[in-house]
Chain A
Amino acid sequence: MPRIYLLGVLLTLFTGSLFGQGSISGVVVDENDDPTYGAAVKIIELERSALTDLDGVFFFDDIPEGRYLISIESLGYDKIVQSVNVGPDAAVAMGSISLMENIELTEEIVVVGYGVSKKRDIVGAITKIDGDDASDALGNSFEANLQGKAAGVQVLQSSGIAGSGARIRIRGTGSITSGGDPLYVVDGIPITQDPFINGSEGGQNYNPLSTINPNDIESIEILKDASAAAIYGSRGANGVVLITTKKGKTKKPKWNYNSNLGFSGLAVDITDDYLTTSEWIQLNQEAWENDGNVGRAPLPGGMSYDDLPAEDYDWFDALLRKGIKQEHNLSVAFGKEKLDVYASFNYLNTESYQVGNNFERLAGRLNLGYTPIKWFNVNLRSSLSQGLNNRVSQAWDGGLGTAESTLLPFYSVDSFQYATGQRNPLFKTNYLDWNTLELRTINNLTLAITPVKNLQIKAFGGLDYMDLRDSRLEDSLWTLTDVFSKLDQKNITNYMVNGTVDYRTDFWENHTLSLLGGWEYQQSTTVGEFTEIKNALGHIYNTMEVYDSPNADTTVTEYDDNQWRFTSSLFRLNYNFKDKLIVNMNHRIDASSKFGRDRKTGHFPGLGLAYIMSEDSWLANSDKISFLKVRASVGRTGNADIPYDAQFGGYSPGSSSNIYAGQPIVSYASLPNSQLAWETTWTTDAGIEVGFLRDRITAELGYYNKITRDAIIFVRIPTSTGQAGYFDNIAQIRNRGVEFMITSRNLVGDRFSWRTDLNLTHNRNKVIDVGTAQPDALAGSGDTRVIEGMPMGVNYLVRFSHVDPDNGLPVFLDADGNETYEWSEENRVPVGNVQPKVVGGLTNTFTIGQNLEIEILGTFTIGGNIYDDAAKRQLGVWTEWNMQRDILNRWTGPGDVNAIYPRLTRNSTTYGGMGSEWFYNTDQWLYDASYFRLKKLAIKYSLPNKLFANKSWIAGCDVGFTTINLFTIAAYRRDPEIVRDLDGPQAMNLSPNVTYLTPPQERTFNFSVNVNF
């Protein structure tokens, strides 16, 4: 101790004499007289602050003469304010200042289903993410920003196209045919979240989360294990993402204005990856001559060589641009004794790199809490938002995807159509005005009464209403006939009511029991129709009144009403002994209209135990270990993400207006299954949470084993029955993994501090049982399959061996590993794995001086494969597609031993067994999926407060610069972060990491100003 004093005094003297001004120093200690590291010390009048170092020392120099109030705060301790007098050139040593522990302050509160809990009391695996982290990548919806932030959570942003969503998997994928997404709950209501609501039109799934304003989010809690998620019963098996919006806390209204301006481009440059005209012509000729032809090779569509332009057209240049992005967010929050208010308004306009594509959001929110009398509280949370997505075709449907494939560099960017009949995608963008408009309001109202101490009765009503309009106006210059307007409209009314009773009692000594019981009902109804108008005057919803009377040019098709309902009872018991031993029991009973009539109701119990060893006397005084908790849980959750009518089948009388020969028909819908029900997942979870050196370093290690039984698959029957199959609970899947998180404050100081957050997840997925299903019966996009004993989505391909140097033909391996010239489906074997070995995120945060903060987030993936499903066309049989430049490494003649790709040919049958250019699926198109990406680099500078000294209305201002996806180090040449937008959940479950001209992610640069007043 004296040593530290001495150091403080020396420092004081030294700097004091140097600058000729006063200084203040001191040492902060805890109740045991141990130095407190990282305590925040402020000179209130000067608005200066510092953090104590490892020895608990703080030091301010350059202090003018005067009397100052010094406040000292440290997490878990009561705040201390002391006054000091500083004389001219005086070095004031405040000596040792003792902090008093304050349990109440330490406790971080975590939102759990139907309530909150102290973080230390959590017995399950719950990751909390601060709302600020959800709003920092301009233009993405909040869920994409969870990438790299939480162990056990794999986030893949689908593409850089505006409004795209992300694919999130929590602790692996436990479903095959049913949805694998987690359940999203916003302020208590499971929201409408189906990404396939509009299929995959234009190569993009609609993202129903995009209208949620990330700036409104206070926190996101991810419930990963069964003891946490069982309270969500039949919908908890894929994990639960709880989104809680902000509320007012400070007495004084706190205004915040936040503005962002940025621009975007491709995260990974692909524009030089394709052949130039001269290369294409040369290789086209080579393929022609290789096939034994003479003379000049024909050009696409019978084009003449004379028509070739002198210079290449740059299709990438024509289709790409620098997207401009801006966002403005204004919010106000205050919390008084009886009333708390949070209100916000958000405007976002984010252009992607593809011409004609942007997403615009307008969002408003009002959160009110009112406590008129002590025992009664009413809480309203309400948002109203609009998302307008100006759509473009992409990937396989057009746009950038065509520049990579069917557009050749000698096709003029100014022509409407080419000799092949293909049309210019730029004209499509111009002549097809296509937008998707979502109007959304998510609301809830909670009434809570507390009739006696510790007993609370709540009534909750929530409404999530979505109006989705996908509208196209097709110019006659594009259709070459009439102007068509098409409106696809869906309204989804999703409401929920529940009542809960919450009671807490302390008994005997040191025992606390909390009980929760509740009942709930939820219903979601989708209605919709498709309208098409010939000779339209504009978008249908703008010109609705013109078409009031139906006429021959108008066709309206109504969709079948789609409704599902859940009714549930829930129960939770939480027992706490001495803050050391915590037991948590959940039980939920779910019945749903989605379940077959013979299996209506399911039970979902969860049990968790935690023991906080650091409360034990043998550890309580440890210098090194400040916190130690072990936890374990087991429980059963379900997945009910199946179509509302999956159980039904049979004849659909009178449903169709179709006739045959003037007579009515009946149609047979599908085969029924009255036994169809939820998928059941048993999860066991164990974890250890530890804090070292007063929690300067905290770490968590978790293990889980999730066994999904009754996973739903589409059971194939021979199609010679006229039917393809039916849904049934058949398969068994295991996800087993380890999660690790560590937070370390490596350096803490007044001038420089450095914090590191690292998380790693290793998940092993294995398909245990698929009944009698053959590999091809459960297929994903790009030749992924579900095969017993293999990870889900294993690539099922013919193995490519080498190019025969003598004749240039591809040599494959048959199923037994023998070399063969014949490509055959029968030689396909499981190779590769689209699921990575390890995913993780590494964040380093540096604080330099008082005002500058730098955050660097790297995300990474180790292991696994990427399958380039377009490579068979771009590196295979020569067609009228452009080719990946790597095709230059093709076989060029006998003795070419370095060839990577076979001899060029225009006849697919030159390569043995290749019926067409589409057959060429081999493991040659599998690439290592490992990558490291500088996901985020953010620099924030808080303007010194003295700048606002005379402007009392301003409380603080910071400016920032953020770049997303600055660079990527990857084995694969294109963007390694891939999710193809797809038609349904099975492909989404099976085929991450499969690309088919999938647009790359965005690289964005963004400047921000944030003002508090």
Chain B
Amino acid sequence: MKKDFMQTAVITSNVRIAKATFEMKFDCDATAITAPGQFINIDVPGYFLRRPISVCDAEDRTLTIIYKVVGQGTDAMSRMSAGTELNILTGLGNGFDPERAKGRALLVGGGCGVAPLFMLAKKLVRLGKAVDVVLGFNTKDEIFLEKEFLDLNDLYEFGCEGFDEAYYAGEIYDKETQPDKDRLQRGKKPEVRVAVTTVDGSYGIKGFVTDAIAQMYGGEIPYYYACGPLPMLKALKKTVGNGGELSLEERMGCGFGACVGCSVKTTKGFKKVCADGPVFPAAEVLEEV
């Protein structure tokens, strides 16, 4: 049986980090989140349905989410103060598979969809993989996590010299987070590069994430991981192709597979976004089936 599925999480901080965007940190057992891209479902007092929010980071007893105020429930969340206890369902859904990327990974986030990519980037860095991050927003005021992604470069400090040894000594990296050996053998420091696009051109590259990707790569585009609005995911599939994973969003009833509210048609049949996803191989979703 699933342990720690339902928990009482205590808010340790809840701050505005961009326009209508908040970062909430919880003290709880964060170990139920085993893959980046998984989500929690929050019981917001006064509202019947829980609010499913993807996890931005999870380490030991600190769970971080980033959410946008889009309605009354998230508005109520934005007014909660540190010390407030919330009932959450955690460890929900299936996340991204960091193993799939070879030496370099492309992470594409749109708006709030940027949040789960942070935990993924961290994991990829620990695997010794280079990470290109493309963040798409409407305008400058909405931008968040740009600096935090760049700061992940510091995580490589162990890595470059003696990175290999550290792994094999089992001091820093456990068996699951094996560094990319090819890259290490080339003796080059992996890196995190970040590009930001804004639709109105108020910051970074003017346009959409696909415009940035077109500028960044002359040749082959790395295996990609994407989370964001449906038009962005469709554009990615069209321009970059199926060599990646997409995190889908849908209005959910339960978040754990019981109500079948969030179904999606895939090339492998009808699936539930909450329990079979939210992350799916790009080739399986947003196809005419």
Partners in one complex: no
Could you tell me which B residues sit within 8 Å of A by CB distance?
Answer: none
